[in-house]
Amino acid sequence: MTHDMIAFQRRQERASPREGRNGKLHALTALCALGLAAAAHAQTTSESADVVGQGLGGAVVAADGASLRRSDNGLTVSLRMPTPSPGSYMYPGPSMFQPEGAYPGQPEAYSFWVFVFNTPQDCAESACTIAEFFAGVGTGGAFNAGGHIVGGPNLQLSGHLTLNSTPFLGSPILNPTTAEVHLAVAPHGALQPAVLPEQITTPIGTPAHWWLALFLID
């Protein structure tokens, strides 16, 4: 082997570790960039709203008691309010899922609903209405986000919806970052084991019976 070839080989041997380190550095930089891009894509925004009831004309029962987190992938919702005292509020009548209707008792059952209006700009007023929902205005979807049987002093409900969540009625979620979102707590009255799980997974009553929180788009 010539002197020049030996010198070249030694230079390569000395350069290889540096090149290896540089390659690892480039790979790490690329991974960090990908991580930052993914974090930006999954960035969420948070909002809060008062809980009122029964009905939109009702008093505030929990200031900032409802929260909504939005991302490109879906919605995360939660609601906390004092548990209504049995017999102190208006109970819904019979429904196809709960033929005996709701009546006072201990414990009582509640279902949690999320109404998502994907195109709120199509609604006539600043807030979309249940009438517009059933008329197909606002491209709305209704989702059961959970239910609870409560005997304690506080009612806390939460749920997460994605673009793939199946609505109970209406449209899937199309525009989670710009949709108008209504949260509703429907009272099902005293626990009726014969109609579980339908008692906490199906609708009952009208907005006049519900506790509500609205997240509007400016």
User: Each residue of 22-42: pLDDT tens digit?
Assistant: 444 454 454 444 454 444 445
Q: Are residues 18 and 113 in the same domain?
A: no
Q: Are residues 31 and 138 in the same domain?
A: no
**Residue 177: is it exposed, middle or buried by C-beta count within 10 angstroms (0-12/13-18/19+)?**
middle
Q: In DSSP terms, which residues pair with 111 in a beta bridge? A: 147, 186
Q: Are residues 14 and 64 in the same domain?
A: no
13 pLDDT exceeds 90?
no
Look at residue 181 in the predicted model and tell me its pLDDT. Answer: 98
Q: Are residues 82 and 157 in the same domain?
A: yes
121 pLDDT exceeds 60?
yes
Q: Are residues 56 and 11 in the same domain?
A: no
The overall pTM is greater than 0.85: no
Q: Are residues 72 and 134 in the same domain?
A: yes
Look at residue 218 in the predicted model and tell me its pLDDT. Answer: 80
Look at residue 49 in the predicted model and tell me its pLDDT. Answer: 98
Percent of the chain with pLDDT over 70: 81
Q: Are residues 35 and 65 in the same domain?
A: no
Give the confidence band of 17 by pLDDT, cuts at 50, 70, 90. very low
Q: Are residues 31 and 58 in the same domain?
A: no
Q: Are residues 203 and 173 in the same domain?
A: yes
Tally of domains within the chain: 2
Q: Are residues 104 and 120 in the same domain?
A: yes
Q: Are residues 31 and 52 in the same domain?
A: no
Look at residue 150 in the predicted model and tell me its pLDDT. Answer: 87
Mean pLDDT of the chain: 87
Q: Which residues are CB-contacts of 61 (< 8 A; sequence separation ≥ 6)?
A: 51, 52, 53, 81, 82, 211
Look at residue 42 in the predicted model and tell me its pLDDT. Answer: 56
Q: What does the block give as tokens for 68?
A: 């909504």
User: For residue range 59-72, what is the model confidence (pLDDT) as tens digits?
Assistant: 999 999 999 999 99
User: For residue range 77-97, what is the model confidence (pLDDT) as tens digits?
Assistant: 999 999 999 999 999 999 999
Percent of the chain with pLDDT over 90: 78
Look at residue 14 in the predicted model and tell me its pLDDT. Answer: 54
Q: What does the block give as tokens for 135?
A: 């008329």
Q: What does the block give as tokens for 101?
A: 């209707």
Q: Are residues 50 and 37 in the same domain?
A: no
Look at residue 25 in the predicted model and tell me its pLDDT. Answer: 46
15 lies in which domain range? Answer: 1-41
